[in-house]
Structure 1
Amino acid sequence: MDELIGAAQRHPAKYWHKLDDGRIQCDLCPRDCKLHDGQRGACFVRGRVGDAMVLTTYGRSSGFCIDPIEKKPLNQFYPGSSILSFGTAGCNLACRFCQNWDISKSRSFDKLMDQANPEAIACSAQKYGCKSVAFTYNDPVIFAEYAMDVADACHARGLKTVAVTAGYIHAQPRREFFSKMDAANVDLKAFTEEFYIKQTGSHLQPVLDTLRYLKHETDVWLELTTLLIPGLNDSSQEISAMSDWIIKELGPDVPLHFSAFHPDYKLTDIPPTPIETLIRARQIALDAGLRYVYIGNAHHTEGDTTYCPSCGSELIVRDWYEIKQYRLTADGHCNHCNAVIAGRYERFTGQFGRQRIPVRIGASA
């Protein structure tokens, strides 16, 4: 194991077993990395030391920020509330279009300058008046042990927890990980196996399995995000097929966010997503029967707004991450026709707004 990783960063990891040939197999995600002593998995942060698996980023973060919940994006999970967000380093996917590549693709632990134990994070979130804590920026699946401990500390203080993830995880750790989460935004990166293999180095089916599991076997509030990349996953046929699958397998009430791509990492030769593409995708999904479809990473008030699927009234009008009008009852009913609006709600007393506030959290604060 890398000399930069001292004993303090070698936190015991779960989800592995020994193979007959002497290697250790990581059982966290479908990559099934098989390691000799001193080797790391594809995620870079889970590795073998001696005869055990360790997590090298436990208690170490790339930074903490207080965000609006809509930035995750979650539009129907306590709208207007604030959320303490943080991530670590590494990722178990290899997305060529990663928008957080400096963190998720990091192979240097100088990115992890902020240290905080689970109790310190929960305490800080409560101190700053946050409704919830988000595991984001890189995929929390790869630091599952840390995220789950933070979630326990948050729940002890009455805080909610949110996973922003690609959903690339095996069944057993999936059960344990999501049992600690109150909400998730899952990146459904495309709807073809070819895209997943060529652009992410992974497979589509495990993600679909995670989505079915979340919807049908948990109480986790679920929203989806698809980053539309021109020429790769933005055809009308693919968007239609994906929308039909969501309705059939997850139901019409799962919110779907179509997000704009900008050139980054290894896809700098592809232009940004035109707003017309996002509008077209949203309309296809609505026409297919999805009730809540949003546009992200682009200024489009209609695509930011939550509408009542029963009477069509504007319920939550947003300008970027700022709520301009809020017309829902405390228990999530339309103020006009009293229809139930899918999501998690409480009495709306104000909003955090569009600001983003970096914070420092001491290791034992």
Structure 2
Amino acid sequence: MMENCSKPLKSTDKATCPVCFRHCRLGEGQRGFCHGRVCKEGEVVAQNYGEISSLCLDPIEKKPLKRFHPGSKILSVGSYGCNLSCPFCQNYEISFSCNKNPPKIPTKYISPEELCYLAVSKVPVNNIGLAFTYNEPLIGYEYVRDCGKLIHKAGLLNVLVTNGTCEIEILEEILPLIDAINVDFKGFSSNFYSEFLGGNIDQTMNFIKKASEKCHVEITTLIIPGYNDSDKEMVDICKWIASLKNGENIPYHISRFFPRNKMKNVNATDVELVYHLADIAKQNLKYVYEGNC
């Protein structure tokens, strides 16, 4: 049975996970915070490699990507696990239901070759490629890399939907294979990221900056009443986005929160507030979209 990384281990014979700021130090058989990576034979590898929990042909706008091949569809694939702990997670069934071994969520192994074949088979129904989404795909970046190479070889496109919580070295390894990214940028407060999400805002900001220099990037922020919904925060986050290379042209999605996961007692975001914040965003950004309204 795999051990959870919260259990104390001996200080010897540990391996360090390279993926995100946590750098989980793991003994043999121990899983990291994300529950998707495990120490095996002295190396931290993706335990969720090819273990698919979700597979669906989606409109590209659902990712959401509004200015990347609009009107097309994309084969969307997800596994399990996440390196953040957002209490409002919309996909918590696959992100957080993996704290047992084996994970509670049912999965099916699909090899990169088989997944590429499936993507190609959907081209006649307007599929443009493959989107890694639903859970956090970069905790299993090796699968993204291996599938991405085959997808490009087949003449199709790769899309990444991510929280942007990974080291630049990991991003640089896969970025040549990625054609578009939607980053879930959850707010503009260090405390909000560290205390509420268990994340690191600096790592996400560095991710967005690097990615936006190399491929098509769109950004999404879920507006949670009382947490990240102030006018000032919207002004600050949009000014920062606009400061990036060609930043004023980065599409920005402002999405409405609905009660979910551990925040079922919080009211849904007022539609009027979403449109109000979108008006503020438009002062610095050209392409602003209201979501879930």
**1:295 alignment partner in structure 2:** 290
**What's the CA shift for 1:27?**
1.2
Taking the TM superposition and a 5 Å limit, the aligned residue runs for 1:98-177 are: 98-107=89-98, 108-129=102-123, 130-177=127-174
Residue 246 in 1 paired to residue 241 in 2? yes
**In the aligned structure 2, how far is the partner of 1:171 from the partner of 1:247?**
21
Correspondent of 1:280 among 276, 279, 283: 276
> 1:227 maps to which residue?
222
Q: Does structure 1 retain, via aligned residues, the 8 Å contact 2:13–2:28?
A: no
Amino acid across the alignment from 2:242: I
Is 1:2 the counterpart of 2:2? The answer is: yes
Equivalent residues of 1:83, 1:134 under 8 A apart: yes
Task: Provide TM-score, normalisation by structure 2.
Answer: 0.92
How far off is 1:189 after superposition? Answer: 0.3
- Provide the rounded CA distance (Å) in 1 between the counterparts of 2:114 and 2:255: 33
SS of structure 1 residue aligned to 2:218:
strand
CA contact (8 A) 1:61 1:89 kept: yes
Q: Which has the higher helix share?
A: 2
Question: Can you list the C-alpha shifts for 1:200-238, whole angstroms capped at 9, x where unaligned?
Answer: 10111100001111122x1x1100000000000010010
User: Secondary structure of 1:67's match?
Assistant: strand
Inter-partner Cα distance in structure 2 for 1:127 and 1:191: 41
Q: What residue is the counterpart of 2:46 in the other structure? A: 55
- 1:110 deviates by 4.4
The aligned counterpart of 2:261 is 265
Alignment deviations for residues 291-344 of structure 1 (CA, whole Å, 9 cap, x no partner): 00001112xxxxxxxxxxxxxxxxxxxxxxxxxxxxxxxxxxxxxxxxxxxxxx
1:33 aligned to 2:24?
yes
Q: Secondary structure at the match of 1:252?
A: helix
Structure 2 stretches lacking a partner, 5+ long: 4-10
Equivalent of 2:177 in 180, 183, 195: 180
Contact 1:88–1:112 (CA<8 Å) still a contact in 2? no
Counterpart selection for 1:192 from 189, 192, 196: 189
Task: Give me the whole-angstrom Cα distance separating, in 2, the residues matched to 1:157 and 1:61.
Answer: 21
Aligned to 2:13: 22
Contact preservation (8 Å) 2:54, 2:134: no
Q: Secondary structure at the match of 1:179?
A: helix
Deviations along 1:133-185, one digit per CA (max 9) or x if unpaired, are: 10000011101001111111111111100000011111211100222211000
1:270-307 C-alpha deviation (Å, 9 max, x unpaired) = 100111111011100112x2000001112xxxxxxxxx
Q: What are the Cα deviations for residues 88-131 of structure 1, in whole angstroms up to 9, with x where unaligned?
A: 00001111110000001122534243221111111111111210
Corresponding position: 1:215 with 2:212: yes
Asked if the contact 2:29/2:40 (under 8 Å) is kept, the reply is yes
8 Å contact from structure 1 (residues 89, 112) kept in 2? no
Cα distance in 2, alignment partners of residues 291 and 199 from structure 1: 30
The amino acid of 1:292's aligned partner reads Y
Q: Distance in 1 between matches of 2:232 and 2:200?
A: 20
C-alpha contact 1:24 1:48 (8 A) present in aligned 2: yes
* Higher RCO (Cα < 8 Å, 6 or more apart): 1
C-alpha distance in 1 between matches for 2:237 and 2:279: 13
**Letter in structure 2 aligned against 1:113:** T
The two structures, once aligned, show a CA RMSD in angstroms of 1.6
The DSSP-based 3-state class of the residue aligned with 2:169 is: helix
| Number of residue equivalences | 280
Q: Distance in 1 between matches of 2:281 and 2:172?
A: 29
Give 1:33 shift: 0.4
SS at match of 1:109: coil
Tell me by how many angstroms 1:32 deviates. 0.8
Structure of larger gyration radius = 1
- The TM-score normalised by the length of structure 1 is 0.74
How far apart are residue 255 of structure 1 and its match? 0.2
1:341 maps to what in 2? Answer: none
Runs of 5+ unmatched residues, structure 1: 4-19, 299-365
